[in-house]
Amino acid sequence: MAHEEDWAGDAKNASPDGEFVRDTTYITDRLTAELAPGSAPRPREDGAFDWPVEAGRYRLIGARACPWAHRTIITRRLLGLEDAISLGLAGPTHDKRSWRFDLDPEGVDPVLRIPRLQDAYLARFPEYPRGITVPALVEVASGKVVTNDFPTIPVDFNDQWRGLAREGAPDLYPAELREEIDAVSKRVYTEVNNGVYRCGFAGSQEAYESAYHRLWTALDWLEERLSESRYLVGGHITLADIYLYPTLVRFDPVYHGHFKASRNKITEMPALWGYLRDLWQTPGFGDTTDILEIKQHYYAVHTDVNPTGVVPLGPDMTGLNTPHGREELPGTPFAEGVTLPGPVPAGEEVKNPDLSA
């Protein structure tokens, strides 16, 4: 069972029993502070390249709609890397070819001057055979994609770009917590981030029911864990929280109905609902989230799941702004000496802030 957006969106396949299988083959180049700014990419033994950390050299291309891109946008904002790495945003819908810059004037990215993200991939790999996915880091001068390896981009932002981060930026991946962050994040990825897709794109009743039970086992585990701790690992926000948030904030508007993950809503789970509101109200999370674009993407693009392309009104998400009461639990958003990010840079504001429609 193939899906229409294999080329442009979440690259996917299905096993013989109808289980959704994500294509996880990405461009595995990395950004490193070991190389001097202005250096050429350095080849690695595995055939990939290391590129130098350098302010202004790269543009992060994301989409408000995409959960995998969202985690990189949150990380960039929390670390205050806006001046070092510019942000380009594709619109919420794409066709079989590519994500499109159809929200920008004239339908082209204002920095890269391309109408489709596909152009940056083909500029480097003229016969690129895989999905044109976000997030992607693109070298501005050459217009060539550098990497779309979404698992490593937030880690490199935190570690390799530290010298260009804002004063008072948090350490989102503390050395003493990395083993636990990795373990929690792995379960969140396999069972929740990817688990909702296994439900939504299941090709048989048996595959769907298996995916459904796996997902809710994990969500019940998170509900229990977060009933005793304000954040997933340690006492402060880490990458583990940044990885979970994009799925939770999309759950009631999209995954509950569109992906048939319908046992109950996040608003009906006290700990997860309070946790989601806590993060939403922290700068970097809610101010990077566009609920309307999220709905437009899933309901309009996934024509195999929603053939009419009708985008639902609701649910009313204004409850995200209500008090969460999580201050009573151990932990604070950030460690002592860490400050909140400043205002959203001009031009990066969420276009659809209304949560009631």
Q: What confidence tier does 357 reach under pLDDT thresholds 50, 70, 90? A: confident
In a domain? residue 135: yes
Please tell me the predicted confidence (pLDDT) of residue 17: 67
Please tell me the predicted confidence (pLDDT) of residue 14: 57
Q: In Å, how far from its chain's centre is CA 143?
A: 23
Question: Rounded mean pLDDT of the chain?
Answer: 94
Please tell me the predicted confidence (pLDDT) of residue 302: 94
In a domain? residue 1: no
Same domain, 198 and 281: yes
Same domain, 144 and 211: no
199 catalytic? Reply is no
Same domain, 147 and 229: no
53 is in which domain, residue-wise? 12-164
Residue 129's contacts (CB-CB under 8 Å, 6 or more residues apart) are: none
Q: What confidence tier does 2 reach under pLDDT thresholds 50, 70, 90? A: very low
In a domain? residue 184: yes
Rounded Cα gap, residues 81 and 77, in angstroms: 6
Question: What count of other Cβ atoms lies within 10 Å of the Cβ of residue 48?
Answer: 17
How far separated are the first and last CA of the chain, in Å rounded? 33
For residue 15, pLDDT over 70 is answered with no
| Mean of pLDDT values over 154-166 | 98
Please tell me the predicted confidence (pLDDT) of residue 4: 33
Same domain, 103 and 239: no
Q: What is the pLDDT of residues 214-232, one digit of tens each?
A: 999 999 999 999 999 999 9
Higher pLDDT among residues 8 and 121, named by residue: 121
Please tell me the total count of domains within the chain: 2
Same domain, 220 and 313: yes
Q: What is the pLDDT of residues 121-149, one digit of tens each?
A: 999 999 999 999 999 999 999 999 999 99
Same domain, 260 and 153: no
For strands 30-32 and 58-63, give the pairing.
unpaired
Residue 81's contacts (CB-CB under 8 Å, 6 or more residues apart) are: 157, 161, 164, 165, 166
Give me 262's structure tokens: 């319908």
Same domain, 25 and 157: yes
In a domain? residue 283: yes
In a domain? residue 298: yes
Catalytic residue chosen out of the listed positions 197, 243, 275, 298 = 197
CA distances for 103 relative to 54, 64, 208, 258, angstroms: 28, 11, 35, 25
Rounded Cα gap, residues 277 and 248, in angstroms: 10
Q: What is the pLDDT of residues 245-290, one digit of tens each?
A: 999 999 999 999 999 999 999 999 999 999 999 999 999 999 999 9
- Contact between residue 38 and residue 141 where contact means Cβ atoms under 8 Å apart: no
In a domain? residue 355: no
Same domain, 105 and 154: yes
Among residues 112, 141, 164, the one where a domain terminates is: 164
- Contact between residue 38 and residue 52 where contact means Cβ atoms under 8 Å apart: yes
Same domain, 190 and 84: no
Higher pLDDT among residues 16 and 26, named by residue: 26
Catalytic residue chosen out of the listed positions 26, 58, 66, 121 = 66
Q: What is the CATH number of the domain that holds 314?
A: 1.20.1050.10
Q: What is the CATH number of the domain that holds 44?
A: 3.40.30.10
Rounded Cα gap, residues 158 and 246, in angstroms: 18
| Mean of pLDDT values over 315-323 | 98
In a domain? residue 74: yes
Q: What is the pLDDT of residues 38-83, one digit of tens each?
A: 999 999 999 999 999 999 999 999 999 999 999 999 999 999 999 9
99 annotated ligand binder: yes
Rounded Cα gap, residues 50 and 42, in angstroms: 5
For residue 332, pLDDT over 60 is answered with yes
197 catalytic? Reply is yes
In a domain? residue 272: yes
Same domain, 155 and 289: no
Same domain, 125 and 224: no
Same domain, 193 and 147: no
For strands 20-22 and 12-14, give the pairing.
antiparallel
Which percentage of the chain shows pLDDT scores above 70? 95
Please tell me the predicted confidence (pLDDT) of residue 5: 38
